[in-house]
Amino acid sequence: MIFKLDYGEDITQAITEECRRKKIKSAYLFFIGAVQKATIGYYNQKTKKYKKIFINKPMEIVSGVGNISVKEEKIFLHAHVSLSDANGKMSGGHLFSPTIVFACEVFIIKNRRKLVRKFDKQTGLFLWQR
């Protein structure tokens, strides 16, 4: 499935909603484009908490990758993003809301296998079950 996000949409909310509409519960995704502002994160392995990083300026989406799975019976988007500023300086990490689109093209590949996330005590994350 290929589609674009509208100017001003939040990336995670818009992609998750599109997957709900199309009943996609398991997929891989790729996206490129630009954002007006972004929220990314770094997972601290010791505290088992995300540190959010707020970027309040236009950035290019150099690469966006992720997956769609089921977490606690709901469609769940897990994505990471690499962003570049006007000087080519890179920032990246886990994609959070709000990350507001300037322009964004999305490519989703459905997966036949149902991907389900369960809490992993060792990492503190919801990871795919085997």
Q: Which domains does the chain possess? A: 2-128 (3.30.1330.80)
Give the H/E segment covering residue 12.
helix 11-22
> Which residues touch 63 (CB under 8 Å, ≥6 apart)?
30, 32, 81, 82
CA distance 77 to 59: 21
- List C-alpha distances in Å: 60 to 2, 44, 74, 88, 118: 19, 26, 30, 9, 33
φ, ψ for residue 2, nearest 5 deg: -125, 135
Query: What is the residue-level pLDDT of the chain in tens, covering all 130 positions?
Result: 999 999 999 999 999 999 999 999 999 999 999 999 999 999 999 999 999 999 999 999 999 999 999 999 999 999 999 999 999 999 999 999 999 999 999 999 999 988 999 999 999 999 998 7
Q: Give the model's pLDDT for residue 39.
A: 98
Q: Give the model's pLDDT for residue 130.
A: 76
